[in-house]
Amino acid sequence: MKIRIATRKSALALWQANYVSSVLQELPEITTTELVPLSTRGDEILDRSLQKIGGKGLFIKELEVAMENGAADLAVHSMKDVPAELPPGFCLAATLKRANPHDALVATAGTTVQSLPENARIGSSSLRRQAQLKMLRPDLRIEPLRGNVNTRLMKLDAGDYDAIILAAAGLERLELQHHISYEFPPNEMLPAAAQGVLGIECLESNSALRAILGQLDDATAVQTTQAERAIARVLQASCQSPVAAYATVAGETLSLTALVAHPDGSPSIRESMDGHVGAANQLGEALAAKLLAGGARDLLDSIGHSNA
């Protein structure tokens, strides 16, 4: 079977697609793979924030169209970019082993968030990151930052910012981890739901392909991804909402922590729950209900980033 992989054209997206291609070629059912690079609206519009142009779903729409019209068989996504609800007719066919889930401070070597100068300019367009940075350092000035990883690093080098925040997994995949000056532990900055996880999407009706792709599932990543994405789904949060979720597995226990925060860092609601790994989705829904009981809906509605 020949597999055509729809992918964005950025260096990181191509790395992800090539990685999945290499994994697929180890399966006996797959004879060859081919990349189908596409440009998405999210890649093309860089002068406006994601929430103003429709959210991170803009990064995957063109890939889904390619699958729908038969130009591609599957698409590879960074799961933190995938809306909590997939469009009708599509499914998440495989969830690969999670890479580094944490956020990273990129600045001069040795710089930590506490050693940044007063009123430092931090590049990030993520309200989730902004909120948690403000909780750590209320004086920091968070300024918009869009573009691919190398574009963002170039803007930092040009002196546009004192530091920027990026996902550690993306830097490590591109062998740019030497730019990381500080990695945030979860108690300082919870990641986005399913950050560090690669997912494979295909048409729900393609049962033969789904059976093959299912072999690539990583059990732990499936469980943590289900729990974390359930938070976003129940809260009706967009991928740009200031909502964070992080799950870990130890034996048969899944531990889940989630946060909803105002972009200015206050107020915020943080809750945690433990449960059985076999009930990951239910645990996520239960923790989301706990957040809602604590006022998460009013908080999200007050800043206009729910149901986007």
Find the catalytic residue in 81, 139, 157, 298: 81
**Which CATH number fits the domain that encloses residue 22?**
3.40.190.10
Do both 223 and 305 map to the same domain? yes
Do residues 235 and 260 touch, judged by C-beta distance below 8 A?
A: yes
DSSP 245-303: EEEEEETTEEEEEEEEE-TTS-SEEEEEEEEEGGGHHHHHHHHHHHHHHTTHHHHHHHH
Lowest mean pLDDT: which of 42-56, 113-127, 160-174, 249-263? 42-56
Write out the residue range of the structural domain in which residue 51 sits: 1-97+197-217
Q: Is the pLDDT of residue 53 over 50?
A: no
Position 237 confidence tier, pLDDT thresholds 50, 70, 90: confident
Do residues 176 and 153 touch, judged by C-beta distance below 8 A?
A: yes
Whether 81 sits among the annotated catalytic residues: the reply is: yes
Do both 18 and 141 map to the same domain? no
Q: Is the pLDDT of residue 58 over 70?
A: no
pTM to 2 decimal places? 0.91
**Which CATH number fits the domain that encloses residue 297?**
3.30.160.40
Record the tokens describing residue 124, joined without a space: 């990030």
Inside any domain, residue 189: no
Inside any domain, residue 79: yes
Write down how long the chain is.
308
Tell me how many degrees the CA angle 120-121-123 measures, rounded to the nearest 5: 140
pLDDT the model gives residue 292: 97
Q: Is the pLDDT of residue 253 over 90?
A: yes
Domain count, the chain: 3
Residue 300 vs residues 7, 35, 141, 152: alpha-carbon distances, Å: 32, 39, 22, 28
